[in-house]
Structure 1
Amino acid sequence: MGFPPFTQEHHTAPYAGIDPRRPAVSAAGKTILITGGGSGIGPRIAEAFAVAGSKQIVLLGRTNSTLLKTKSTLESTHSGLKVLIFVADITDVSAVNAAFHGTRATFGPIDIFVSNAAFLPDTVQIKDMIVSDFAQGLTTNVVGNLVTTQAFLATAAPSNAVLIHVTTGAVHLPSMVNYSGYQTSKTAALKFFEAVQAENPDIRVMNVHPGYLATDMNVKGLGSDNSIPFDNLDLPGHFMVWAASPEAAFLKGKVIWSNWDVEELKARKRELEGGEMLTMVLNGWPRKD
């Protein structure tokens, strides 16, 4: 299976345009909150924002040990960085609210929220799908995002707040055999975040595909199929720092891939700003010119 190109350059590793050390993408003075922060790409995203200058990073996750390890690594590597950790399942309203409001009480309003936590239902055909596993995908990937988004809206910075939902390239692809559970839940989440953007025009909402990565979740889904090389694990973190910066403001409300070249995207700013391109629409539906 090949990936559909949008920019001519398809990156698989970090590059100069998304270097988090660039002054233009600085996260200095920003409070960052990341769900799924203790494992997978969560620690790499946190690392990228720390390199970009953030001194206040918050990690939510379900496992205290991985959160503590990530906190220790980040704080020992970046002078002056303070990392708060909260053990919370994103579907637990009380725990999530405690985390977000605890963040505001300690660090002030949240500037950038990276909604990274997700669940991959078993990759089997529909006839073999366990109903409870399919339902867990919807609960985590849709209801969990409702819970965390409500908490973010109540604690977000009053201006220039950014919400990045970590989506999947599968929402851009035709239906994939064995992936009905994941594609269904992540597509529903995409429509949910379109509603979040429509109802909250002062917040920038972005849906970012992180790339094809060797995380535990991807390995679970692949089984023995490893025919496509994995992308570098630092790619999504670097890209998300750029996506949260003023340089990417024209992509508000869009679905974008970490693999796409940012210089090519910026060159198409007038074409991409507003409108339906890179949003979910019904193909063939009549539109006004």
Structure 2
Amino acid sequence: MTFHTTSYPSIDPSRSESSTAGKVVLITGGGSGIGPRIAHAFATSGCRKIAIVGRTVASPEKIKQEVEAAHAGVTVHTSTADIGDESAVNRAFESISKALGKIDIVISNAGYLPDTKPIAEADVEEWFKGMIINVKGTLNLAKAFLNYATEKLTSVHVSTGGCHIEPMPANSAYTVSKLAAARLMEYFAFENPQVRVHSIHPGVVKTDMHKKSSEGGLDMEFQFDDIELPASFAAWIVSPEAEFLRGKFVWSNWDVEELKAKKEELQSSQDLTLGLQGWP
């Protein structure tokens, strides 16, 4: 499988095949990390109504100004909410729905990296904060989707490749919470077949979250990816071209032409879903 570290023509959001014209897109965690670039990617793909949800007021407002200045005709609506707070999430979704209309696409990008410490040294409350935000927050969002979205909602959960690879030092809190959230999204898809669900690994990008992990001692050698890779991939994964990947967990680094070549195989198997190795 070809492994990409930068965006490439097949996932270029300006392609007509990736058009999101007429759609209302909501991005959580839109004020920092890869969220702002995802907003730009959707604006490039033709979306004219974008909602950004963040934990603070300042960051989403800054991104709103940047996106609207860079893309003529785009309206960005901002809301403040901690996704771990169900009431705050519902208020944000209600505000967005009133301002922009029912939501077609949700990019669940908000997340929390607890302090990177071995289990023996971990503060239990800090360790479990990952579960509160990454799991409870995902549950709050999923319930809100059903109340404020169109009948043909597409939901993209930004997860981590850490769910699949061997354990890394001092990273249990984050990885365990993201693995649980990914499984939650599989249940969400199972119980709501009208919703198109994708989980994606965004690659390894130099963000504040990565900086925190490095300062906490998780200083392993990584091959970094350009931030435009997950942004472009997020816009592609919601396109009709990627419909065959619904219910799957895919990496932004994987070549989409090679994935499309495996379409029939992937649609007829449990490949790219969570499971147990060595099942007899």
TM range (shorter): over 0.9
Tell me by how many angstroms 1:19 deviates.
0.3
CA RMSD across the alignment: 1.1
Tell me by how many angstroms 1:31 deviates.
0.4
**Native 8 Å contact 2:23 2:48 kept in 1:** yes
CA distance in 1: counterparts of 2:20 and 2:232, whole angstroms? 12
Unaligned runs of 5+ in 1: 1-6
Q: Which residue of 2 aligns with 1:172?
A: 164
**Native 8 Å contact 2:79 2:96 kept in 1:** no
Tell me by how many angstroms 1:155 deviates.
1.2
Question: Where does 1:3-152 land on structure 2 (aligned, <5 Å)?
Answer: 7=1, 9-152=2-145
Question: Where does 1:223-262 land on structure 2 (aligned, <5 Å)?
Answer: 223=215, 225=219, 227-262=221-256
CA distance in 1: counterparts of 2:222 and 2:162, whole angstroms? 15
Query: Which stretch of structure 1 is more off in the superposition, 36-45 or 93-102?
Result: 93-102
Q: Which residue of 2 aligns with 1:184?
A: 176
Once the two structures are superposed, residues 76-117 of structure 1 have per-residue CA deviations (whole angstroms, 9 ceiling, x without a partner) of 111110000001100122221111122222221111000000
Once the two structures are superposed, residues 152-202 of structure 1 have per-residue CA deviations (whole angstroms, 9 ceiling, x without a partner) of 11111122x210000000001122221110111011101100100100111
- Say if 2:198 is the partner of 1:206: yes
TM value normalised by structure 1: 0.94
- Give the aligned residue type for 1:11: H
Secondary structure of 1:157's counterpart equals strand
Equivalenced residue count is: 278
**Native 8 Å contact 1:250 1:274 kept in 2:** no
**Native 8 Å contact 1:210 1:236 kept in 2:** yes
CA distance in 2: counterparts of 1:86 and 1:93, whole angstroms? 14
CA distance in 1: counterparts of 2:258 and 2:223, whole angstroms? 24
- Give the aligned residue type for 2:267: E
Name segments (4+ residues, structure 1) moved above 2 Å.
222-229
Tell me by how many angstroms 1:274 deviates.
4.3
Unaligned runs of 5+ in 2: none
TM value normalised by structure 2: 0.97
Q: How many percent of aligned residue pairs carry the same amino acid?
A: 47
